[in-house]
Structure 1
Protein backbone atom coordinates (compact mmCIF):
# COMPACT_ATOMS: atom_id res chain seq x y z
CA UNK A 1 0.00 0.00 0.00
CA UNK A 2 1.19 3.51 -0.82
CA UNK A 3 -0.23 6.86 0.24
CA UNK A 4 -0.06 10.22 -1.48
CA UNK A 5 -1.33 13.43 0.13
CA UNK A 6 -3.95 15.36 -1.89
CA UNK A 7 -5.39 18.75 -0.95
CA UNK A 8 -7.60 21.57 -2.17
CA UNK A 9 -8.33 24.96 -0.60
CA UNK A 10 -11.77 26.54 -0.55
CA UNK A 11 -11.85 30.31 -0.22
CA UNK A 12 -14.88 32.54 0.34
CA UNK A 13 -15.19 35.19 -2.37
CA UNK A 14 -18.65 36.54 -1.41
CA UNK A 15 -21.71 35.55 0.60
CA UNK A 16 -22.59 32.00 -0.48
CA UNK A 17 -19.87 31.95 -3.16
CA UNK A 18 -16.54 30.15 -2.95
CA UNK A 19 -13.68 29.06 -5.14
CA UNK A 20 -11.82 25.76 -4.92
CA UNK A 21 -8.11 25.91 -5.76
CA UNK A 22 -5.69 23.07 -6.28
CA UNK A 23 -1.91 23.19 -6.03
CA UNK A 24 -1.57 23.26 -9.85
CA UNK A 25 -3.58 26.50 -10.15
CA UNK A 26 -6.92 24.99 -11.19
CA UNK A 27 -10.10 26.63 -9.90
CA UNK A 28 -13.76 25.65 -9.60
CA UNK A 29 -16.49 28.06 -8.44
CA UNK A 30 -18.98 26.83 -5.83
CA UNK A 31 -22.29 28.40 -4.82
CA UNK A 32 -24.67 30.88 -6.40
CA UNK A 33 -25.35 29.90 -10.01
CA UNK A 34 -22.18 27.79 -10.15
CA UNK A 35 -21.78 24.22 -8.92
CA UNK A 36 -23.21 23.10 -5.60
CA UNK A 37 -21.11 20.80 -3.40
CA UNK A 38 -23.45 17.88 -4.23
CA UNK A 39 -23.00 18.52 -7.95
CA UNK A 40 -19.23 18.51 -7.43
CA UNK A 41 -19.50 15.16 -5.65
CA UNK A 42 -21.45 13.76 -8.60
CA UNK A 43 -18.92 15.26 -11.01
CA UNK A 44 -16.03 13.72 -9.08
CA UNK A 45 -17.62 10.27 -9.12
CA UNK A 46 -18.37 10.44 -12.84
CA UNK A 47 -15.18 12.23 -13.80
CA UNK A 48 -13.00 9.62 -12.18
CA UNK A 49 -14.58 6.72 -14.05
CA UNK A 50 -14.85 8.77 -17.26
CA UNK A 51 -11.10 9.41 -17.24
CA UNK A 52 -10.26 5.76 -16.61
CA UNK A 53 -12.62 4.67 -19.37
CA UNK A 54 -11.45 7.29 -21.86
CA UNK A 55 -7.78 6.51 -21.37
CA UNK A 56 -8.35 2.81 -22.02
CA UNK A 57 -10.82 2.99 -24.92
CA UNK A 58 -9.27 5.90 -26.79
CA UNK A 59 -6.08 3.87 -27.20
CA UNK A 60 -8.13 1.84 -29.69
CA UNK A 61 -9.93 4.74 -31.38
CA UNK A 62 -11.38 8.16 -30.68
CA UNK A 63 -15.02 8.03 -29.56
CA UNK A 64 -17.67 9.71 -31.69
CA UNK A 65 -19.71 10.36 -28.52
CA UNK A 66 -18.54 10.35 -24.91
CA UNK A 67 -21.04 11.44 -22.27
CA UNK A 68 -21.21 10.34 -18.65
CA UNK A 69 -24.27 11.27 -16.57
CA UNK A 70 -24.24 10.89 -12.80
CA UNK A 71 -27.46 11.08 -10.81
CA UNK A 72 -28.78 10.32 -7.38
CA UNK A 73 -31.43 11.24 -4.84
CA UNK A 74 -30.64 13.85 -2.21
CA UNK A 75 -32.23 12.67 1.04
CA UNK A 76 -32.93 14.93 4.02
CA UNK A 77 -33.42 12.85 7.15
CA UNK A 78 -33.65 14.29 10.68
CA UNK A 79 -32.30 11.10 12.27
CA UNK A 80 -29.37 10.24 10.00
CA UNK A 81 -28.69 13.59 8.32
CA UNK A 82 -28.52 14.65 4.69
CA UNK A 83 -26.99 12.28 2.16
CA UNK A 84 -27.14 11.02 -1.40
CA UNK A 85 -28.70 7.67 -2.27
CA UNK A 86 -29.25 5.67 -5.46
CA UNK A 87 -26.09 6.96 -7.15
CA UNK A 88 -25.91 5.92 -10.79
CA UNK A 89 -23.17 6.52 -13.36
CA UNK A 90 -24.49 6.14 -16.93
CA UNK A 91 -22.23 5.95 -19.96
CA UNK A 92 -23.27 6.97 -23.47
CA UNK A 93 -20.24 6.12 -25.57
CA UNK A 94 -20.12 5.55 -29.30
CA UNK A 95 -17.18 4.48 -31.40
CA UNK A 96 -16.75 4.45 -35.17
CA UNK A 97 -17.55 1.34 -37.18
CA UNK A 98 -14.68 -0.98 -37.95
CA UNK A 99 -12.09 -3.09 -36.20
CA UNK A 100 -10.80 -0.38 -33.85
CA UNK A 101 -14.33 0.68 -32.87
CA UNK A 102 -15.23 -2.97 -32.25
CA UNK A 103 -12.17 -3.33 -30.00
CA UNK A 104 -13.13 -0.22 -27.99
CA UNK A 105 -16.74 -1.43 -27.63
CA UNK A 106 -15.59 -4.89 -26.57
CA UNK A 107 -13.39 -3.57 -23.78
CA UNK A 108 -15.92 -1.02 -22.49
CA UNK A 109 -17.75 -3.25 -19.94
CA UNK A 110 -14.51 -4.55 -18.46
CA UNK A 111 -12.96 -1.07 -18.32
CA UNK A 112 -15.99 0.48 -16.57
CA UNK A 113 -16.10 -2.42 -14.09
CA UNK A 114 -12.36 -2.18 -13.37
CA UNK A 115 -12.65 1.56 -12.75
CA UNK A 116 -15.61 1.06 -10.43
CA UNK A 117 -14.20 -1.93 -8.56
CA UNK A 118 -10.52 -0.91 -8.22
CA UNK A 119 -9.27 2.26 -9.90
CA UNK A 120 -11.61 5.16 -9.17
CA UNK A 121 -10.49 6.65 -5.87
CA UNK A 122 -13.64 8.77 -5.57
CA UNK A 123 -16.31 6.09 -5.92
CA UNK A 124 -14.20 3.59 -3.94
CA UNK A 125 -13.97 6.13 -1.08
CA UNK A 126 -17.72 6.76 -1.14
CA UNK A 127 -18.57 3.05 -1.24
CA UNK A 128 -16.13 2.11 1.51
CA UNK A 129 -17.57 4.83 3.75
CA UNK A 130 -14.32 6.56 4.68
CA UNK A 131 -14.80 8.76 7.78
CA UNK A 132 -14.38 12.54 7.44
CA UNK A 133 -12.73 14.35 10.38
CA UNK A 134 -13.48 18.09 10.78
CA UNK A 135 -10.68 20.15 12.38
CA UNK A 136 -10.87 23.79 13.47
CA UNK A 137 -7.45 25.47 13.22
Structure 2
Protein backbone atom coordinates (compact mmCIF):
# COMPACT_ATOMS: atom_id res chain seq x y z
CA UNK A 1 0.00 0.00 0.00
CA UNK A 2 1.16 3.52 -0.63
CA UNK A 3 -0.14 6.96 -1.45
CA UNK A 4 -2.58 8.47 1.01
CA UNK A 5 -2.53 5.36 3.19
CA UNK A 6 1.23 5.18 3.69
CA UNK A 7 2.83 6.28 6.94
CA UNK A 8 6.62 6.25 7.24
CA UNK A 9 9.62 7.37 9.24
CA UNK A 10 13.33 7.12 8.57
CA UNK A 11 15.73 5.95 11.28
CA UNK A 12 19.43 6.86 11.09
CA UNK A 13 22.17 5.71 13.46
CA UNK A 14 23.80 8.70 15.18
CA UNK A 15 26.07 6.77 17.57
CA UNK A 16 26.30 3.61 19.62
CA UNK A 17 22.74 2.63 20.60
CA UNK A 18 21.43 6.02 19.41
CA UNK A 19 19.23 6.81 16.43
CA UNK A 20 17.39 9.77 14.98
CA UNK A 21 13.89 9.28 13.61
CA UNK A 22 12.72 11.70 10.92
CA UNK A 23 9.14 11.95 9.72
CA UNK A 24 8.02 13.01 6.25
CA UNK A 25 7.52 16.57 7.54
CA UNK A 26 11.18 16.78 8.62
CA UNK A 27 10.65 16.64 12.38
CA UNK A 28 13.23 14.61 14.27
CA UNK A 29 13.24 12.62 17.49
CA UNK A 30 16.27 11.02 19.11
CA UNK A 31 15.93 7.45 20.33
CA UNK A 32 18.25 5.50 22.60
CA UNK A 33 18.61 2.43 24.76
CA UNK A 34 17.75 4.16 28.05
CA UNK A 35 21.32 5.08 28.96
CA UNK A 36 20.63 8.72 27.95
CA UNK A 37 17.64 11.05 28.25
CA UNK A 38 16.36 10.01 24.80
CA UNK A 39 13.09 8.14 24.53
CA UNK A 40 13.42 4.36 24.32
CA UNK A 41 11.42 2.37 21.76
CA UNK A 42 9.17 1.02 24.53
CA UNK A 43 8.46 4.54 25.76
CA UNK A 44 7.62 5.56 22.21
CA UNK A 45 5.19 2.66 21.95
CA UNK A 46 3.47 3.89 25.11
CA UNK A 47 3.47 7.44 23.71
CA UNK A 48 1.97 6.18 20.45
CA UNK A 49 -0.79 4.27 22.25
CA UNK A 50 -1.67 7.15 24.58
CA UNK A 51 -1.28 9.77 21.87
CA UNK A 52 -3.41 7.96 19.30
CA UNK A 53 -6.16 7.30 21.83
CA UNK A 54 -6.09 10.88 23.17
CA UNK A 55 -6.08 12.40 19.67
CA UNK A 56 -9.05 10.20 18.77
CA UNK A 57 -11.06 10.90 21.93
CA UNK A 58 -10.32 14.62 22.36
CA UNK A 59 -12.32 15.99 19.40
CA UNK A 60 -15.27 13.72 20.24
CA UNK A 61 -15.65 15.07 23.76
CA UNK A 62 -14.44 18.63 23.03
CA UNK A 63 -17.47 19.12 20.75
CA UNK A 64 -19.54 19.08 23.93
CA UNK A 65 -17.15 21.01 26.18
CA UNK A 66 -13.50 22.02 26.05
CA UNK A 67 -11.61 20.00 28.69
CA UNK A 68 -9.97 21.98 31.48
CA UNK A 69 -7.54 19.07 31.95
CA UNK A 70 -6.80 16.20 29.59
CA UNK A 71 -3.84 14.06 30.68
CA UNK A 72 -3.13 10.45 29.80
CA UNK A 73 -0.73 8.40 31.90
CA UNK A 74 0.42 5.18 30.27
CA UNK A 75 2.41 2.40 31.88
CA UNK A 76 3.32 -1.24 31.36
CA UNK A 77 5.63 -3.90 32.75
CA UNK A 78 8.37 -5.22 30.48
CA UNK A 79 8.93 -8.92 31.05
CA UNK A 80 10.78 -11.82 29.49
CA UNK A 81 9.13 -15.23 29.44
CA UNK A 82 8.56 -18.14 27.04
CA UNK A 83 7.19 -15.60 24.52
CA UNK A 84 10.38 -13.49 24.70
CA UNK A 85 10.52 -9.81 25.70
CA UNK A 86 7.15 -8.08 25.73
CA UNK A 87 4.91 -5.75 27.67
CA UNK A 88 2.15 -6.83 30.03
CA UNK A 89 -0.33 -5.03 32.25
CA UNK A 90 -0.62 -2.02 29.95
CA UNK A 91 -2.71 0.73 31.50
CA UNK A 92 -3.87 4.08 30.21
CA UNK A 93 -5.24 6.34 32.93
CA UNK A 94 -7.18 9.37 31.73
CA UNK A 95 -7.27 12.36 34.05
CA UNK A 96 -9.89 14.58 32.44
CA UNK A 97 -11.79 17.53 33.88
CA UNK A 98 -14.62 19.35 32.18
CA UNK A 99 -16.25 22.62 33.20
CA UNK A 100 -19.35 22.64 35.35
CA UNK A 101 -22.69 22.83 33.59
CA UNK A 102 -24.70 20.90 31.04
CA UNK A 103 -22.03 20.89 28.33
CA UNK A 104 -19.42 19.60 30.78
CA UNK A 105 -21.81 16.90 31.96
CA UNK A 106 -22.48 15.80 28.36
CA UNK A 107 -18.75 15.60 27.65
CA UNK A 108 -18.13 13.71 30.91
CA UNK A 109 -20.89 11.24 30.08
CA UNK A 110 -19.51 10.69 26.56
CA UNK A 111 -15.90 10.09 27.67
CA UNK A 112 -16.13 6.34 28.50
CA UNK A 113 -17.88 5.58 25.20
CA UNK A 114 -15.40 7.69 23.22
CA UNK A 115 -12.47 5.84 24.81
CA UNK A 116 -14.11 2.47 24.09
CA UNK A 117 -14.69 3.43 20.44
CA UNK A 118 -11.07 4.55 20.13
CA UNK A 119 -9.80 1.27 21.56
CA UNK A 120 -12.25 -0.96 19.68
CA UNK A 121 -12.25 0.70 16.28
CA UNK A 122 -10.82 4.17 15.74
CA UNK A 123 -7.28 4.36 17.17
CA UNK A 124 -4.88 2.90 14.62
CA UNK A 125 -2.17 2.15 17.19
CA UNK A 126 -4.49 0.38 19.66
CA UNK A 127 -6.12 -1.59 16.85
CA UNK A 128 -2.74 -2.62 15.39
CA UNK A 129 -1.58 -3.85 18.80
CA UNK A 130 -4.84 -5.71 19.39
CA UNK A 131 -4.80 -7.35 15.98
CA UNK A 132 -1.14 -8.33 16.37
CA UNK A 133 0.16 -7.10 13.01
CA UNK A 134 3.46 -8.52 11.80
CA UNK A 135 6.14 -6.31 10.22
CA UNK A 136 7.91 -7.72 7.18
CA UNK A 137 11.67 -7.12 7.01
CA UNK A 138 13.86 -6.42 3.98
CA UNK A 139 17.66 -6.19 4.09
CA UNK A 140 19.54 -4.07 1.54
CA UNK A 141 23.34 -4.19 1.39
CA UNK A 142 24.26 -0.59 0.65
| TM-score, scaled relative to structure 1 | 0.92
For 2:42, the equivalent position in structure 1 comes to 38
Q: Give the alignment of 1:1-137 within 5 angstroms.
A: 4-31=5-32, 32-77=36-81, 79-137=82-140
**C-alpha root-mean-square deviation of aligned residues, in Å?**
1.3
Partner SS state of residue 38, structure 2: coil
Distance 2:130 2:90 in 1: 10
Query: What count of residue pairs does the alignment treat as equivalent?
Result: 134
Q: SS of the counterpart of 2:26?
A: coil
Q: TM-score normalised to the size of structure 2?
A: 0.89
- Per-residue CA deviations over 1:11-49 (Å, capped at 9, x if unaligned) read 112222211111012222111211000000011011000
Secondary structure of 2:106's counterpart equals helix
Runs of 4+ in 1 over 2 A off after TM superposition: none
User: Which secondary structure state, in structure 1, belongs to the residue aligned with residue 83 of structure 2?
Assistant: coil
Unaligned runs of 5+ in 2: none
Q: Secondary structure at the match of 1:63?
A: coil
SS of alignment partner, residue 47 of structure 1: helix
CA distance in 2, matches of 1:33, 1:76: 24
Contiguous gaps of at least 5 residues in structure 1? none
